[in-house]
Amino acid sequence: MRFNLLLSLFLIVTLVGCGDSHDRNPLIDDEDVILVLVDGQPITLPMLEFMMGSRGITEDDHEGMRELLEELIRLQAVANAARADGLDREPAVRARRILRDLEVLQLRYFDRLYHEYPPTDEDIQAVYQTQLDRAGGLQYQIETLVFPAQADALTALAAVEEGQSEFQELVAEREAAGETSVESFWVGATQVPEDVASLLQAAEIGDVIGLPLQTPTGWRVLRLADTRQADVPSLDEVREGIARHLVRQRVEAMVEDLYEQSEITPMLPLEEVE
């Protein structure tokens, strides 16, 4: 592509605002082809190629290439004016530019990790089989009662376990207090924490589960209302989701390893936490 693109650019590029020299940008290599100098600041072929890739412009689309190049020239012209006014030295601007650089490098590092070490079919099949084993082939209909705090949910569970109250009595108390009434859901064992899933699998219909379930809306006390055979998806239906899960796990582990290996030197005195 590089040779054909250079030929195309030879036909369409007109140098705009050229200077005789430019300050060396640390992100520009000596090997980079410079297409245009805008008041001495370079626009390079890699910059144009990146824009073409992100916009879906092909090298035979001369008009599209010309428009992208003009857009880059305008961007550079505005950036030059900002630097001339000293805006590039403002703390917030410098911080944003540094953070954007860190984000770009992080994404590229993750992308390389994925392409060099993609999840294998054996890895995906192993996770799929583990999920099947954990699911146990059943779905569970649970009736849930929401409490605002874990302590409230545990108190309600203790009352049920000690025979001081029934689940429906808890529901009536919550409704009398103007709180949300009981809600019912079908879930699989893989959709709840493992300790809750184990209790569901061992419970009889009508049992109140001995652990509350933490959700974004509060702590839920659960009662098993019914069970049914689960509609198990095929491996092909969940393959992509499992692959993403494995990549996410690998990335998180890699980030933690890099964090642990880093030499971290505090440069300011740390205030004692009272």
Query: What are the structural domains of the chain?
Result: 2-85 (no CATH), 134-229 (3.10.50.40)
Residues whose CB is less than 8 angstroms from the CB of residue 167 and which lie 6 or more positions away in sequence, other chains included:
143, 145, 160, 208, 221, 223
pTM over 0.85? The answer is no
List Cβ<8 Å contacts ≥24 apart for 68-74. 69/12, 69/13, 69/35, 69/36, 69/43, 72/36, 72/43, 72/47, 72/48, 73/16, 73/17, 73/36, 73/38, 73/43
Measure CA 129 to chain center.
25
**Predicted confidence pLDDT, tens digits, the chain (274 residues):** 564 665 565 555 544 444 444 566 788 888 889 999 999 999 999 999 999 999 999 988 999 999 999 999 999 999 999 999 999 999 999 999 999 999 999 999 999 888 888 899 999 999 999 888 877 788 899 999 988 899 999 999 999 988 888 888 888 888 887 777 788 989 888 888 989 988 998 999 999 999 999 988 889 999 999 999 888 889 999 999 999 899 999 999 999 999 999 999 888 876 654 4
